[in-house]
Structure 1
Amino acid sequence: MTLTDAQLDRYARHIVLKEIGGEGQKRLLAATVTLIGAGGIGSPALQYLAAAGIGRLRVIDDDRVSLDNLQRQILFGTGDVGRGKAEVAGEAVSRLNPDVRFEAVTARLDAGNAGALIGETDLVLDGSDNFATRLAVSDHCTRARIPLVSAAIGQFQAQIGTFRGWEQARPCYRCFVGDAFDAEDCDTCSELGVLGAMAGLAGSFAALEAVRQIAGFGQDAAGKLHIFDGLKPEMRTIRIVKDPACSGCGALPG
């Protein structure tokens, strides 16, 4: 791949970074990233990934924009209420960067269809809002050996982690949360509330982790969970231990 003059100009601030350079930018342009959800986390993540020049962005989301989304889901405006989130996301990507090919998947992901919906991809970024979806995504990514960046928010807290659970010393997302969760176990933003700006922080951090994985720079963050407390405010990082009995990755060869 040869970068065009327009691409050299557009991505100049990446290219001058020695950790990315022209080769790293080419990897971004050649990559496919699948986002689970275009809501609070997906909104900023999608925009930064499109601006970064990810070659293909696939968004899986069957939801429609509602008025109470607008406090934190910055991809949408008042005029978008009632429209499909994936459709609006595609329009935003088209405005941001003509280099990016966009694919909207307007279906609800579950354990039975995760593989078919996610398809061929270099990385999955999960910003979904329930454990059933998150575990289905994690299990598929682990089996298919797809790096997973998982981000979550609640009230004044954000959590971001990168998982490659098929590797011998690396945990999967299920190692972190276990097997006991289903859709009924996840408290929703409508019940507990969430500071809107926390979605921006989590989505931007998740986009950074996705770019880091694809371009290949900095320290490897796989198996670490970054936790941001917006009340203090401060961030801490913990290392998740691989569970040898994990139903998602414990039986896989290293």
Structure 2
Amino acid sequence: MDDHQLLRYSRHILLPQIDAGGQDKLLHARVLVIGLGGLGSPAAMYLAAAGIGELVLNDYDRVDLSNLQRQIIHGTDNLGEAKVESARKTLARLNPDITLHTLDRRLEGADLDAAVAAVDVVLDCSDNFATRFAVNAACVKARKPLVSGAVIRFEGQLAVFTPGQPDSPCYNCLYPTQGELPESCARNGVIAPLPGIVGGMQALEAMKLLLGIGETASGRLLLFDALNLEWRQMKLRRNPHCPTCGVGE
């Protein structure tokens, strides 16, 4: 690291769990953020600020006025713009030293597999089951850690899946069937700061995975009740018959 980086990341370097060696790991890390909405906005911003060397940003939507209540990476001037481009501009201003890649398309099949295989950690910040199941399958196939978040109304969820580790479940173990989401933020609403809380925790878990520090949410589902400011935790077990990660995967 040069003097500029030593000063920029000095508050990380002061932490004995990170130090200069850990910050160097972050500077050489590569993270894929799928979805640049309510969750992806704060997650990508914190990862960029923290000095993740390469961020791969994926979304195929455009910025809409209704997004701005919670999707803080976008602004009024970005209305109608591709979310990946809007996000790229914001992150480049936030930290011009990192490398940003944008994928303005739906990632599917071999394209998704290649994008997942090329990174160290994947953040699923999407808002539909089809994407979540596809991303999970790609992570299991490539044995890449997956940090999954979800929010609606006043409720948030966070889970970490670490394929390749003994007894680690996957997203398909938690949700055995795909189907359609019965509820969504567009239909049911979401309080503005909630995606920031869960998205920020996704960034935190990703950094812990990259640094190999602390205890991650692997094998656990964290449930947040924002109205009563309560966290609950559920232990997750690997389903040996899971069609994605079970025997005969």
TM-score, scaled to structure 1: 0.94
1:26 aligns with 2:24: yes
Query: What is the CA RMSD across the aligned residues, in angstroms?
Result: 1.4
Counterpart in 2 of 1:181?
A: 178
Aligned-partner Cα distance in 2 for 1:136–1:12? 38
1:109-188 equivalences in 2 (<5 Å): 109-111=107-109, 113-178=111-176, 180-182=177-179, 184-188=180-184
Counterpart of 2:10, as a letter, is: A
SS at match of 1:185: coil
Gaps (5+ residues) in structure 1? none
Aligned-partner Cα distance in 2 for 1:106–1:22? 34
Counterpart in 1 of 2:85?
A: 87
- Given candidates 216, 232, 243, the residue that maps to 2:239 is 243
Counterpart in 2 of 1:99?
A: 97
Aligned-partner Cα distance in 2 for 1:75–1:174? 30
Aligned-partner Cα distance in 2 for 1:125–1:95? 22
Kept after mapping to 2: 8 A contact 1:150/1:160: yes
Aligned-partner Cα distance in 1 for 2:116–2:169? 21
Kept after mapping to 2: 8 A contact 1:138/1:148: yes
Counterpart in 1 of 2:195?
A: 199
Aligned-partner Cα distance in 2 for 1:117–1:107? 12
Kept after mapping to 1: 8 A contact 2:117/2:144: no
SS at match of 1:246: coil
TM-score, scaled to structure 2: 0.96
Indicate the percent of aligned positions where both proteins have the same amino acid: 44
Deviation at 1:164, TM superposition (A): 1.0
Kept after mapping to 1: 8 A contact 2:116/2:144: no
1:225-244 equivalences in 2 (<5 Å): 225-244=221-240
SS at match of 2:122: strand
Counterpart of 1:50, as a letter, is: A
Kept after mapping to 2: 8 A contact 1:35/1:124: yes
Aligned-partner Cα distance in 1 for 2:185–2:126? 12
SS at match of 1:152: strand
Counterpart in 1 of 2:217?
A: 221
Aligned-partner Cα distance in 2 for 1:175–1:245? 9
Aligned-partner Cα distance in 2 for 1:191–1:202? 20
Aligned-partner Cα distance in 2 for 1:174–1:168? 16
Aligned-partner Cα distance in 1 for 2:213–2:221? 18
1:10 aligns with 2:35: no
Aligned-partner Cα distance in 2 for 1:249–1:194? 32
Deviation at 1:83, TM superposition (A): 0.4
Gaps (5+ residues) in structure 2? none
* Runs of 4+ with deviation above 3 angstroms: 110-113, 116-119
Aligned-partner Cα distance in 2 for 1:105–1:121? 14
How many residues were matched structurally? 249
Aligned-partner Cα distance in 2 for 1:167–1:47? 29
